[in-house]
Amino acid sequence: MTRQSNPRRRLLLFVIALFGTAVIAGAPSPAGLSTRGQFALATMFFAGLLWVTGAFPLAVTALSIPILLTVFGVYADLDEALVGFADHLIFLFIAGFMLANALQKYDIDRRIALWMMSVMGSSPRRLVLAVMLATAFLSMWVSNTATAAMMTPIALGVLSQVLGRENVEAASETVDDTDVTATDGGIAAPDEFSNIQVSMLLGTAYAASVGGVGTLIGTPPNAVLASQLNEILGYEIGFAQWLIIGVPIVAITLPVVWYVLTYVLYPPQVEDVSDARKQARRYLAEEGELSPRGKRVAAIFTATAFLWVLGGLGDFLGPYLPSAWAVTLFGGEGTSVFGVEGHQGILYYVVVGLLSIPALVLADTMEWDDLVDIDWVTILLFGGGIALADALATTGATEWIADSVFTSLTGAPIVLVVGAVVLLVIFLTEMTSNTATATIIIPILISIGGVFAATLGLTDVAAAVFLSVSGAIAASFAFALPVATPPNAIVFGSGYLKQSQMMRAGVILNLLMTAILTGLIWLLFRFVWPHVLW
């Protein structure tokens, strides 16, 4: 989420943040909270207020965190405060962003989307589903922002064939913010948008957000979770482990979103979409045959994804290999084939991701200027978030917050606890970026694991993993406001959608997804996650 701030508003919010930080830092220390913990909380207030209000760019606020932590003396020197910016998962995301750049450079992602629409778009609802499936699949590997930015013009091009380009453009030019009324036909009247426009554009945005849940690199909250579990608990979620968590979530929630949009809220009322399929096929034909360099990129991407999955199968494949090779490939404490004790494993998912970058260069597909154009804002936000989470954990501040705020839920039914977490995170994400929400809330959820361990019937670590995973998943399900997620903002900014339409669909889906995610997370927790996460 990006908000425009005028200089006076920015200065005012900065002064408020400084004043609140000073008050928290200078107040008498509450019982059970160390002085350093109090300073860490003051830093969290400063960063949280600026993140939520958007007074500063997210990355600028993130860079202020190690400065404050050092000024307050939470860390003895700046080097310790900057350790979070070198976290291994940051480099996984750098590799993922660079790999996504390669897919985009050769229009491989666009080809996938057009192919799915040309094959599946035999009816209005299936056409919307094809767009959503393509968007969700791409969002598992490419950032949801980039996916939405690429898919929105494709969707609009297809819509122009369904509705007639003149009707699409006329509707966008005359739209205002009055409430939409139901259409009685497929073509938009001059003062409203047709249902198929609304369902397809909202479906594009929502699928980009939901699809990102599927993989560890699909959306920033997943990586925030993995990095903070590693920093706070020394617990690591692998790439294959996350697939077992994320793919079922996507597979169940995406069809629900599609059904609600196309059958309940905005059912398409056109019958013939043959022109749209033809348009998708024309677009695909215009792409021509994939170039040799594009084919090499596709091969490297496929190999990387395969090795990411293979690297998570060490527990199953390791016993069938000589011990030295098992240690070398999958990691362990034994002797590797290189004759040294202990090894991270060549198939460790961060190593595999980083290896894909020189592979792209060796294959003569990417130059440095192509690779470096990535989302550095998110990278820096990760670093600041990890530094803040580590400071809160090492000073005991997150444990103090957990004991102070969440103790009232101790002994509550597990479904109520999960529902409260999901609803809280979705609500917070509507007001600020899902990455910032995850950065603030996940360390707290990790720390309350000990509070709810007995209630959940788990160890402290398992309870912390369970609750924080629930929060990370929920951070991708804010659908009501354009400012909630970049995909929402992108489709709203296209000018073919009213805020009232997004609000209507988003509020209903937020409530529905709270219930569905609560039940789904509980079922996965009972029957799947014990065999995967702990």
Contact 78, 70 (CB under 8 A): yes
Domain that holds residue 352: 294-364
3-class state of residue 406 by DSSP: coil
Q: What's CA 193's distance to the chain center, in Å?
A: 29
Q: What is the pLDDT of residue 136?
A: 93
Tokens in use for 82?
A: 């900057």
Amino acid, res. 165: R
pLDDT reading at 134 higher than 50:
yes
Contact 344, 49 (CB under 8 A): no
If one compares 477 and 168, the residue with the highest pLDDT of the two is 477
Contact 39, 72 (CB under 8 A): yes
Number of neighbours of residue 340 by Cβ within 10 angstroms: 10
Residue 71 neighbours by CB under 8 Å, 6+ apart: none
Question: d(Cα 66, Cα 359) in Å, to the nearest integer?
Answer: 34
Residue 127 neighbours by CB under 8 Å, 6+ apart: 117, 120, 121, 158, 162, 196, 200, 268, 273, 276, 277
pLDDT tens-digit map of 388-400: 878 887 888 877 8
Residue 360 is assigned to a structural domain of this protein: yes
Amino acid, res. 33: L
Q: Where are the beta strands (DSSP E) in 337-403?
A: 341-343
Residue 430 neighbours by CB under 8 Å, 6+ apart: 478, 480, 481, 484, 510
Q: What is the pLDDT of residue 405?
A: 64
Question: d(Cα 17, Cα 24) in Å, to the nearest integer?
Answer: 11
pLDDT reading at 130 higher than 70:
yes
Task: Tell me how far CA of residue 373 lies from CA of 91, 104, 366, 368, in angstroms.
Answer: 15, 12, 12, 9
Radius of gyration of the chain (CA): 24
pLDDT reading at 182 higher than 50:
no
> Which residue has 């936000």 as its token pair?
381
pLDDT tens-digit map of 55-83: 888 788 889 999 999 999 999 889 888 98
DSSP H helices, 187-238, are 195-211, 220-233
3-class state of residue 342 by DSSP: strand
Percent share of the chain, pLDDT over 90: 19
Question: d(Cα 168, Cα 149) in Å, to the nearest integer?
Answer: 19
Q: What is the pLDDT of residue 39?
A: 93
Q: What's CA 106's distance to the chain center, in Å?
A: 24
Split at pLDDT 50, 70, 90, the class of 407 is low
Residue 302 is assigned to a structural domain of this protein: yes
pLDDT reading at 171 higher than 50:
no
pLDDT tens-digit map of 347-376: 888 888 899 999 999 999 998 888 888 778
Amino acid, res. 358: P
Residue 298 is assigned to a structural domain of this protein: yes
Total domains present in the chain: 1
Residue 331 is assigned to a structural domain of this protein: yes
Helix then strand then coil, in percent of the chain rounded to 5, is: 75, 0, 25
User: What residues form DSSP beta bridges with 343?
Assistant: 332
> Which residue has 């699809």 as its token pair?
211
Residue 330 is assigned to a structural domain of this protein: yes
pLDDT reading at 414 higher than 70:
yes
> Which residue has 């084939």 as its token pair?
337
* Region of poorest pLDDT, from 163-167, 274-278, 302-306, 433-437: 163-167
Best-predicted range by mean pLDDT among 180-189, 266-275, 367-376? 367-376
Residue 244 neighbours by CB under 8 Å, 6+ apart: 528, 532
Question: d(Cα 154, Cα 469) in Å, to the nearest integer?
Answer: 33
Average pLDDT score over the chain = 81
* Region of poorest pLDDT, from 30-39, 104-113, 269-278, 329-338: 269-278
Q: What is the pLDDT of residue 190?
A: 36
DSSP state letter for 321: S
Helix (H) or strand (E) segment spanning residue 333: strand 332-335
pLDDT reading at 273 higher than 70:
no
Split at pLDDT 50, 70, 90, the class of 489 is confident
User: How large is the average pLDDT for residues 331-339?
Assistant: 88
pLDDT tens-digit map of 199-247: 889 999 999 999 999 988 888 888 888 888 887 888 888 888 888 889 9
If one compares 3 and 377, the residue with the highest pLDDT of the two is 377
Percent share of the chain, pLDDT over 70: 87
DSSP H helices, 237-273, are 239-259
Residue 352 is assigned to a structural domain of this protein: yes
Diameter over CA atoms, the chain: 74
Number of neighbours of residue 186 by Cβ within 10 angstroms: 20
Helix (H) or strand (E) segment spanning residue 334: strand 332-335
Residue 308 is assigned to a structural domain of this protein: yes
Tokens in use for 28?
A: 């008498």
Residue 338 is assigned to a structural domain of this protein: yes
Task: Tell me how far CA of residue 122 lies from CA of 126, 166, 275, 280, 480, in angstroms.
Answer: 6, 23, 10, 12, 29
Question: d(Cα 472, Cα 446) in Å, to the nearest integer?
Answer: 11
Question: d(Cα 404, Cα 493) in Å, to the nearest integer?
Answer: 41
Question: d(Cα 98, Cα 353) in Å, to the nearest integer?
Answer: 10
Question: d(Cα 262, Cα 259) in Å, to the nearest integer?
Answer: 5
Question: d(Cα 36, Cα 239) in Å, to the nearest integer?
Answer: 35
- Indicate the pTM of the whole model: 0.74
Question: d(Cα 240, Cα 247) in Å, to the nearest integer?
Answer: 10
Contact 7, 56 (CB under 8 A): no
Question: d(Cα 398, Cα 381) in Å, to the nearest integer?
Answer: 19
pLDDT reading at 119 higher than 80:
no
Number of neighbours of residue 117 by Cβ within 10 angstroms: 28
Tokens in use for 57?
A: 């760019």
Closest listed residue to residue 349, CA positions, set 234, 238, 237: 238
